[in-house]
């Protein structure tokens, strides 16, 4: 049992030792207990390691005891490098830490791997009392290869930033880039907003190091970053605008509005869509080239400001404009990019001054740039569809200036299968004013209608066709949904609209009052057409009316227009009343004069296809 007094005294001693340790240079330790004055000298000074002072032994550092005859292991004099001193009377032994040896553990033992933390080569100094670490393993630095080397790039993957400020530099942390997580940013962070965007679902794979996405409808890409309904496939687009004398100022303004609306639908820039605007009449004039305009306000301004220099005004040399585009517009020096889609949007009435050259240059342009798509936009007082079809080669690339169908069609082809961007179908009534045609004319009109019907898609939920005729009274031949194949419709049409029923019989070829026919047409739309469907009537007639009848016809046609029906008129040859037709049709593009007189084959009617079966993009 230890007495309380002893504990108290020991405590004082320890406190005293601490006090003395702190004072450098102190040689002797005053030991209170000890021998009396009589034997002091003999006992401490002579034999042992201390001096006599006032009858007490004052021990040298490293010694302790009444007569300073005991090694003081706590003195710190013995056993360096962390070795443990064990007192053994007048002597001591050291229990050295790993990697050290010698009486006082003063010798380095480099065979022990711990000096350099197993991460480098231990090299002894010449005296064998210290070491350095060479060739620290990658990721480590410092005397003992114990400090993190953040510059080594062995920590923090995937762009993460290493911070070597943990535990005095012996550890690190990573600041991960967005989308990554884990001690070394080695794992996918599925909760990050850049993973599986737009409400896509993120799935971890390969132990969290990879992922995949289940995208929400309408999105694709590794991170669902692609909105299928945004223009994603970039393109270089050149507008060619016919400003010849046949195109008046009103048309010019409409053309500019069209181009401005078109441009505004697409993101601009060298990584996005690039536009160029060429005006032409007798010569082409580049208002801006592909590389000129990347700022959406400036480009709109530039379209507004566009004019053609006086020396380039005059007739319509469409071929020269197409040649200019082929030689200059897509050239890399003008900002053309090799690997993108290319569009040429030609706004003209289709009445070029050198039509052979126009067709040739369109061909050459297509040969020079096989991926170019030429869209013809019919604009102006009168539109000559045949040339537009020839330039574009494909009926669905021919559009009226009126409406946005051409813009939607380009949008759709720059998107990745957008489901919100789809083909929509119309309800179409073909209305024959049989009374206005002679035998040959009616034959041409029937063939024209046949080409149109044959090219329409007439399955369920596609284009619906109705047929009405006026001979001496208005008659409905078939309603929407009565037939769903083009062949049936054509055969029923040819059976009911007899070529013998024409005015040839009584030789009086003038239209009678077709207002009852037009009323029937409107009734059919009102009864059977859904609101969302586009409605169009194609009226086959020469539009030669007596004055009083003309008034009623105009009224009924206006009534159709007021009810959202597009009015398309088709006549044959020089006898057709083209002025009336241009006035009655919804837009000049919807007036067709078929026949040899105008060198217009029946196929010209196919220019209607893009209007009847058109692209729509629902905006979310």
Ligand X SMILES: *[C@@H]1O[C@H](CO)[C@@H](O)[C@H](O)[C@H]1NC(C)=O
Nearer to ligand X (CB atom), residue 37 or residue 267: 267
Q: Write down the number of H helices and E strands in the chain.
A: 14, 34
> Pairing between strand 161-166 and 107-108?
unpaired
Question: CB of 304: closest distance to ligand X in angstroms?
Answer: 7
Nearer to ligand X (CB atom), residue 286 or residue 477: 286
Nearer to ligand X (CB atom), residue 144 or residue 223: 223
Nearer to ligand X (CB atom), residue 6 or residue 618: 618
Question: CB of 249: closest distance to ligand X in angstroms?
Answer: 6
Whether the Cβ atoms of residue 80 and residue 92 lie closer than 8 Å to each other: no
Q: What residues contact 389, with CB distance under 8 A and at least 6 apart?
A: 376, 395, 398, 603, 604, 606, 607
Nearer to ligand X (CB atom), residue 90 or residue 264: 264
Residue with tokens 């004069």: 593
Nearer to ligand X (CB atom), residue 264 or residue 555: 264
Q: How far apart are CA 531 and CA 535, in angstroms?
A: 9
Total Cβ atoms within 10 A of residue 44:
29
Question: CB of 272: closest distance to ligand X in angstroms?
Answer: 9
Nearer to ligand X (CB atom), residue 119 or residue 535: 535
Whether the Cβ atoms of residue 461 and residue 426 lie closer than 8 Å to each other: no
Nearer to ligand X (CB atom), residue 373 or residue 464: 464
Question: CB of 124: closest distance to ligand X in angstroms?
Answer: 55
Whether the Cβ atoms of residue 207 and residue 186 lie closer than 8 Å to each other: no
Question: CB of 289: closest distance to ligand X in angstroms?
Answer: 4
Whether the Cβ atoms of residue 382 and residue 588 lie closer than 8 Å to each other: yes
CA distances from 385 to 167, 436, 544, 602 (A): 81, 23, 23, 11
Nearer to ligand X (CB atom), residue 212 or residue 494: 212
Helices (H), 157-306: 249-264, 296-305
Q: How far apart are CA 589 and CA 595, in angstroms?
A: 17
Using DSSP's 3-state secondary structure scheme, residue 276 falls into: strand
Which residue, 85, 81, 48, 82, is CA-closest to 67? 48
Question: CB of 528: closest distance to ligand X in angstroms?
Answer: 14
Q: How far apart are CA 61 and CA 68, in angstroms?
A: 10
Nearer to ligand X (CB atom), residue 67 or residue 262: 262
Which residue, 541, 546, 547, 492, is CA-closest to 518? 541
- φ, ψ of residue 124 in degrees (nearest 5): -75, 150
Nearer to ligand X (CB atom), residue 165 or residue 271: 271
Nearer to ligand X (CB atom), residue 56 or residue 590: 590
Question: CB of 330: closest distance to ligand X in angstroms?
Answer: 11
| Class of residue 411 by CB neighbours under 10 A (exposed 0-12, middle 13-18, buried 19+) | buried
Q: How far apart are CA 90 and CA 101, in angstroms?
A: 21
Whether the Cβ atoms of residue 366 and residue 344 lie closer than 8 Å to each other: no
Question: CB of 238: closest distance to ligand X in angstroms?
Answer: 11
Total Cβ atoms within 10 A of residue 528:
16
Q: How far apart are CA 46 and CA 542, in angstroms?
A: 147
Which residue, 549, 546, 598, 588, is CA-closest to 567? 588
Element (H, E) at 537: strand 534-540
Interacting residues toward ligand X by CB under 6 A: 203, 205, 212, 248, 250-251, 264, 267, 286, 288-289, 292, 296, 298, 301-302, 305, 328, 334, 380-381, 402-404, 460-461, 588
Question: CB of 481: closest distance to ligand X in angstroms?
Answer: 11
Nearer to ligand X (CB atom), residue 167 or residue 333: 333
Question: CB of 287: closest distance to ligand X in angstroms?
Answer: 7
Question: CB of 267: closest distance to ligand X in angstroms?
Answer: 6
Question: CB of 442: closest distance to ligand X in angstroms?
Answer: 30
């Amino acid at each position: 049992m230890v007495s309380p007094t002893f504990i108290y005294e020991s405590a004082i001693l320890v406190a005293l030792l601490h006090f003395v340790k702190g004072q450098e240079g102190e040689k002797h330790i005053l030991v209170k207990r000890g021998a009396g004055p009589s034997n002091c000298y003999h006992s401490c000074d002579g034999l042992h390691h201390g001096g006599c002072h006032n009858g007490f032994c004052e021990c040298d550092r490293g010694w302790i005891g009444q007569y300073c005859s005991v090694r003081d292991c706590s003195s710190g004099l013995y056993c360096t490098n962390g070795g443990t001193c064990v007192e053994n009377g007048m002597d001591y032994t050291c229990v050295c830490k790993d990697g050290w040896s010698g009486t006082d553990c003063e010798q380095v033992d480099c065979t022990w791997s711990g000096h350099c933390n197993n991460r480098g080569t231990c090299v002894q100094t010449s005296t064998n009392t210290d070491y350095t670490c060479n060739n620290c393993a990658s990721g480590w630095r410092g005397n003992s290869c114990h400090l993190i080397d953040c510059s080594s790039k062995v920590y923090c993957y995937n762009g993460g930033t290493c911070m070597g400020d943990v535990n005095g530099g012996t550890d690190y942390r990573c600041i991960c880039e967005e989308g990554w997580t884990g001690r070394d940013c080695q794992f996918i962070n599925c909760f990050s907003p850049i993973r599986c965007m737009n409400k896509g679902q993120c799935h971890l794979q390969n132990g969290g190091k990879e992922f995949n996405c289940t995208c929400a409808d309408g999105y694709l890409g590794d991170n669902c970053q692609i909105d299928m309904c945004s223009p994603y496939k970039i393109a270089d687009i050149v507008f060619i605008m016919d400003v010849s004398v046949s195109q008046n100022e009103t048309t010019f303004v409409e053309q500019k509005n069209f181009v401005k609306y078109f441009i505004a639908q697409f993101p601009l820039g060298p990584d996005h869509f690039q536009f160029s605007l060429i005006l032409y009449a007798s010569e082409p004039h580049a208002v801006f080239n592909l590389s000129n305009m990347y700022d959406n306000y400036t480009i709109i301004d530039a379209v507004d400001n566009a004019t053609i220099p006086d020396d380039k005004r005059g007739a319509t040399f469409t071929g020269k404009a197409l040649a200019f585009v082929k030689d200059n517009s897509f050239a890399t020096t003008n900002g053309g990019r090799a690997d993108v889609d290319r569009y040429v949007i030609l706004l003209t009435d289709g009445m070029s001054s050198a039509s052979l050259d126009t067709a040739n240059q369109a061909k050459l342009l297509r040969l020079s740039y096989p991926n170019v798509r030429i869209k013809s936009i019919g604009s102006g007082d009168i539109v000559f569809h045949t040339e537009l079809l020839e330039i574009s080669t494909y009926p669905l690339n021919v559009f009226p200036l009126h409406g946005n169908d051409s813009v939607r069609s380009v949008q759709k082809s720059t998107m990745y299968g957008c489901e919100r961007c789809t083909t929509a179908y119309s309800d179409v009534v073909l209305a024959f004013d049989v009374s206005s045609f002679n035998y040959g004319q009616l034959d041409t009109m029937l063939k024209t209608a046949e080409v149109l019907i044959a090219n329409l898609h007439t399955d369920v939920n596609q284009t619906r066709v109705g047929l009405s005729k006026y001979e001496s009274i208005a008659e409905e031949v078939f309603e929407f949904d009565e037939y769903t194949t083009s062949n049936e419709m054509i055969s029923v049409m040819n059976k009911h609209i007899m070529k013998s029923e024409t005015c040839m019989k009584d030789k009086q070829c003038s239209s009678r009052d077709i207002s009852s026919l037009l009323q029937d047409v409107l009734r059919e739309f009102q009864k059977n057409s859904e609101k969302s469907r586009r409605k169009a009537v194609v009226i086959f007639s020469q539009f030669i009316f007596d004055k009083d009848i003309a008034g009623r016809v105009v009224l009924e046609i206006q009534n159709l227009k007021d009810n959202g029906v597009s009015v398309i008129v088709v006549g044959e040859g020089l006898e057709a009343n083209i002025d009336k037709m241009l006035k009655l049709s919804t837009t000049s593009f919807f007036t067709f004069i078929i026949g040899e007189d105008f060198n217009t084959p029946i196929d010209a009617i196919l220019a209607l296809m893009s209007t009847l079966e058109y692209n729509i993009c629902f905006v979310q």
